[in-house]
Structure 1
C-alpha cells in the first residue's frame, strides 16, 4: 500500500474577516479526517502567494506529489472544504 502524499495549504491574511471565519471550519474538517493543513499568511510569506498564484483569500489549495489537485477561493464553508478533501482522498 502506498502512502498518500496529499497536502493542503490555507492562504490567509491578518486583515481578512472571511479568513478568520474559515480557519476553524478548515481545522475542524481536517481534524475529522486526520489531515494536516499548513497556514500561509500573506503578511509573513508574500512570496508564497506569488509562487502559488493566489490572488484572493481565504484560499485552500490541495496538492499531491507537488501537483495541484484542487483550489477553493473565497468563503470556505464546510461543504467546500470537504469537497476539496474528497478530491485528495480519491487519489
Structure 2
C-alpha cells in the first residue's frame, strides 16, 4: 500500500485523502459529501479513502488519531489537514485554494 500511496499523492492534481473507519458515524456522513465534491470538481481532484483499521502504519505515519481526518496533497506534499466533517462548499474552496 505504501508505495502505491506515494505514487498516488505525488501528482500535480490535488489528492484529497479521507482517513475513515467503518464504525465511525461522522465518516458515514462525510462519504456522500465527498461524492458530491468529486461530481462537481471531476478530474480537478483525486479523492481516495483509507481505512485506518486496515492501514494502521499509514495512519500512524500521518498521525491520524481521529476519524474522519482529511489530508490534501499536491505534488506529494501535504498542504492541508482537517479532522471532522466539512460541508461540500468548504471542501471545494479548500481544494481550489490549494
Is the aligned partner of 1:86 residue 2:86? no
Distance in 2 (alpha carbons) for counterparts of 1:78 and 1:67: 23
Cα RMSD, aligned residues only:
1.6
Q: Secondary structure at the match of 2:70?
A: strand
Q: Secondary structure at the match of 1:72?
A: strand
Distance in 2 (alpha carbons) for counterparts of 1:75 and 1:8: 14
1:7 pairs with one of 12, 15, 24:
15
Which structure: greater helix fraction? 2
Aligned to 1:60: 70
Aligned to 1:24: 32
Distance in 2 (alpha carbons) for counterparts of 1:70 and 1:15: 25
Which sections of structure 2, spanning at least 5 residues, go unmatched?
1-10
Are residues 62 and 11 of structure 1, via their aligned partners in 2, closer, same or farther at CA, if it must alter by over 3 Å?
same
Size of the aligned set, in residue pairs, is 86
User: Shift of residue 36 of structure 1?
Assistant: 2.0
Q: Normalising by structure 1, report the TM-score.
A: 0.82
1:41 pairs with one of 42, 46, 51:
51
Deviations 1:45-81 (A, max 9, x none): 1111111111111111101111111112112222331
User: Shift of residue 10 of structure 1?
Assistant: 0.6
